[in-house]
Amino acid sequence: MKSNYFVISLISLLFQGAGISNAQKLNSFHPPISKNEERVPVKTEIHNNGYTTHWSDTYLNTFRYGNLFKMTVRDVNLSIKQSKIDIAEELGIIGLNLQEGFINELLSSDTKTVKEPSLKEMETTLKSNDVLVFASPHSEVGKKLLSLAGDINSWKKDLTAHQFKSNDWHPTDVFRLESGQRKIFAVISSDAEAFEKLESVIKNIREIVRTYDFRKGWMGIETLHMSVTTDFVHPMDVISQGMNEGNSWFVFSGYNEFRALEKYQSWMDEIGNPAFVEAGSYAPGYGQRNFVFGCDNWDGLQEQDIKQQGYVDFVKEKNGYIFRQVFDNKADEHDVYDGYIVNEGNKKQLDNQELPFVNLTSSFSGGATSSMVLFLPKGAYVNKKSIIKAIKERREVAILPQGKIIGGDYFRQAMQVLELDRIFLEDYFGDYIDIYTETNGSEVKITLTNYSNKAITGNLSLSLPSALKLAENGKAISLPANSQKEVRFPVSIEKEAMGKTNPIGIDFVWDGKKKSTVTMLDLPPAISVPQLLYGQTPVVQYPVSVHNFTKESSFPVKVQVFKTDKPGKAVFEKIPQCEVAPDTYKELVFDIKIKAGNYKLVTTALGCFSETQLGVEKAQGQSTLTTVDLNGDGVDEYQMENDKVKVTLLTIGARVIEYIVKSKDDNVLFKSWPEKPVNENQPFRERHYYPFGGFEDFLGQPSMETHKVFDAEILKSGGTSVSVKMTSDFYGNQIEKIFTLYGDSPLLEVKFKLNFTNKETDMFGPQPILALGAAHDTVDVFMVPDVKGLLKYRMRMDEYYGQIFTLTEGWQAGRDENENVFFVGAFPVDQPDFLHMWMNHPRNSSTRHYYVEFQPWIRIIKKNAMYFSYYMWADEGNWEKGVEALRERNLITKSKINVE
**Interior CA angle at 402 toward 397 and 407, to 5°?**
15
How many domains, in total, are found in the chain?
A: 6
Mean pLDDT of 665-678: 96
Q: Residue 532 and residue 831: Cα distance in Å, rounded?
A: 10
**What is the domain-level CATH number for residue 284?**
3.20.20.140
Residues 702 and 829 in one domain: yes
pLDDT in tens, 714-769: 999 999 999 999 999 999 999 999 999 999 999 999 999 999 999 999 999 999 99
> Residue 266 pLDDT more than 50?
yes
DSSP string, 364-407: GGGT---EEEEEEETT---SHHHHHHHHHTT-EEEEPGGG-EES
Mean pLDDT of 764-793: 97
Residue 213 carries which DSSP code? Answer: E
CA end-to-end span of the chain: 112
Domain edge (last residue) among 486, 501, 523: 523
HEC profile of 258-299: HHHHHHHHHHHHHCCCCCEEEEEEEECCCCCCEEEECCCCCC
Residue 771 and residue 710 share a domain: yes
Which of 229-233, 626-630, 662-666 shows the lowest per-residue confidence on average (mean pLDDT)? 229-233
Residue 511 has pLDDT above 90, yes or no: yes
In a domain, 24, yes or no: no
Could you write out the three-class secondary structure of 649-693?
EECECCEEEEEEECCCCEECECECCCCCCCCCCCCCHHHCCCCCE
Residue 591 corresponds to which amino acid? Answer: D
Query: Does any domain span residue 7?
Result: no
Domain with 484 in it: what CATH number? 2.60.40.10
User: Is 12 a residue whose pLDDT tops 60?
Assistant: no
Q: How far apart are the C-alpha atoms of 269 and 267, rounded to whole Å?
A: 5
| Residues found in the chain | 900
The predicted model scores a pTM of 0.94
**Which whole number is the average pLDDT over 375-394?**
98
Does residue 123 form part of some domain? Answer: yes
Specify which residues 245 forms β-bridges with. Answer: none
Say how far apart CA 337 and CA 647 lie, in whole Å.
54
Contact residues for 354 (Cβ-Cβ < 8 A; gap 6+): 394
Is 895 inside any structural domain? no
Q: Are residues 675 and 766 in the same domain?
A: yes
Residue 499 in this model has a pLDDT that exceeds 80: yes
In Å, how far are 297, 433, 450, 471, 478 from 455, measured between CA atoms? Answer: 47, 11, 8, 28, 7
Q: Report the candidate in 300, 302, 341 with the shortest Cα–Cα distance to residue 317.
A: 300
Residue % of the chain over a pLDDT of 90? 90
In this structure, the answer to whether residues 54 and 84 fall within a common structural domain is no
Q: Which candidate, 831, 825, 853, places its Cα nearest to that of 898?
A: 831
Residue percentage of the chain with pLDDT more than 70: 97
At 845, give phi and psi (nearest 5°).
Answer: -65, -25
Is there a single domain that holds both residue 92 and residue 179? yes
Return d(Cα 802, Cα 207) in angstroms, integer. 51
Summarised one tens digit per residue, pLDDT across range 633-646 is 999 999 999 999 99
* Average pLDDT value for residue range 833-849: 96
Task: State the amino acid at position 354 in one-letter form.
Answer: E
Does 717 lie in the same domain as 805? yes
Which of 408, 428, 448 is where one domain is finished?
428
pLDDT level of residue 14 (50, 70, 90 thresholds)? very low
CATH of the domain at 654: 2.70.98.10
In a shared domain, residues 559 and 670: no
CA distance 213 to 374: 8
Whether the upstream peptide bond of residue 465 has omega within 30° of 0, thus cis, is no
Helices assigned H by DSSP within 167-213: 192-211
Q: Please give the residue range of the domain that contains residue 571.
A: 527-617
Q: Which helix (H) or strand (E) holds 175?
A: strand 171-179
Q: Is residue 262 part of a domain?
A: yes
- In-domain check, residue 828: yes
Residue that finishes a domain, picked among 369, 395, 428: 428
CA 534 to CA 615: how far, in whole Å?
Answer: 5
CA 238 centroid distance within chain? 8
- Where do the H-state alpha helices sit in 848-890? 879-888
Strands 130-135 and 182-189, sheet pairing = parallel
CATH code, domain carrying 541:
2.60.40.2950
Of residues 90, 82, 80, the one with CA closest to residue 50: 82
Do 743 and 847 meet the contact criterion of CB atoms below 8 Å apart? no
- Give the separation between CA 151 and CA 139, rounded to whole angstroms: 18
Task: Read off the pLDDT band of 15 (50, 70, 90).
Answer: very low
Largest Cα–Cα distance of the chain, in whole Å?
124
C-alpha span between 704 and 769 (Å, rounded): 18
Q: Which residue has the higher pLDDT, 523 or 284?
A: 523
Tally of CB atoms within 10 A around 261: 17
Is the same domain home to 185 and 84?
yes
Residue 37 banded pLDDT, cuts 50, 70, 90: low
Q: Is residue 85 part of a domain?
A: yes
Determine the Cα angle at 807 with ends 806 and 808, to 5°: 130
- Is 417 inside a domain boundary? yes
For residue 578, the surrounding DSSP H or E stretch is: strand 577-579
Report pLDDT for 31.
Answer: 84
- Say what the pLDDT of residue 7 is: 47
Q: Is 405 exposed, middle or buried (0-12, 13-18, 19+ CB in 10 A)?
A: buried
- pLDDT averaged over the chain? 95
Which range, of 16-20, 271-275, 427-431, 686-690, averages the lowest pLDDT? Answer: 16-20
Give the integer Cα–Cα distance in Å for 203 and 197: 10
Averaged pLDDT for residues 118-132: 95
pLDDT tens across 245-257, in order?
999 999 999 999 9
424 sits in which H/E element: helix 423-428
Residues 403 and 442 in one domain: no
CB 108 within 8 A of CB 181: no
Q: Are residues 410 and 453 in the same domain?
A: no
Do 71 and 161 belong together in one domain? no
497 and 411 co-located in one domain: no
pLDDT in tens, 141-154: 999 999 999 999 88
| Other Cβ atoms closer than 10 A to 170 | 17
- Average pLDDT, stretch 534-556? 98
pLDDT at 4: 54
Strands 111-115 and 130-135: parallel
**pLDDT at position 35:** 63
> Mean pLDDT over residues 209-225, rounded?
97
DSSP track, 75-139: -HHHHHHHHHHHHHHHHT-TEEEEPTTHHHHHHTS-EEEEES--HHHHHHHHTTSEEEEEE-TTS
